[in-house]
Amino acid sequence: MKVIVSSETLALTLKKMDLDNNPVNKIASTDGGLIAFIHNDSSVVRLHCEVSDSGACEQNDARWDWVRDLVNSVPEQPIVLDIQEQRVKVIFEY
């Protein structure tokens, strides 16, 4: 699954999640250009973004805390997230 999002928006969204203790176990796109990050089956955080495909992705060991730290360390810019089962690839366009 690929999505395009502002690094600032992603940083603010990830800040709301307890990523250190509750791993992301499902990411699902919804209608209207939203992607929902669902973790621990008890909390849903919605992120406004452009979704390039629909569907869901189950994740086990992807390090969203690293993604959070990375997007907090760069100036605001559009980024692409390439989300797979056990990884999240962050693509910057300079």
Give the domains, in start order, of the chain with CATH numbers.
Answer: 2-92 (3.10.150.10)
Distance CA 92, CA 84 (A): 17
The helix/strand count (H/E) of the chain reads as 2, 8
Q: Please give the helix or strand (H or E) that residue 8 lies within, else none.
A: helix 7-15
pLDDT of residue 74: 92
CA proximity to 5, closest of 78, 91, 84, 90: 78
**21 CB-contact burial (10 Å; exposed 0-12 / middle 13-18 / buried 19+):** exposed
pLDDT tens for the 94 residues of the chain, in order: 889 999 999 999 988 888 877 788 888 887 767 888 888 777 788 888 888 877 788 888 888 999 999 999 999 999 999 999 999 999 997 5
pLDDT of residue 94: 57
pLDDT of residue 32: 66
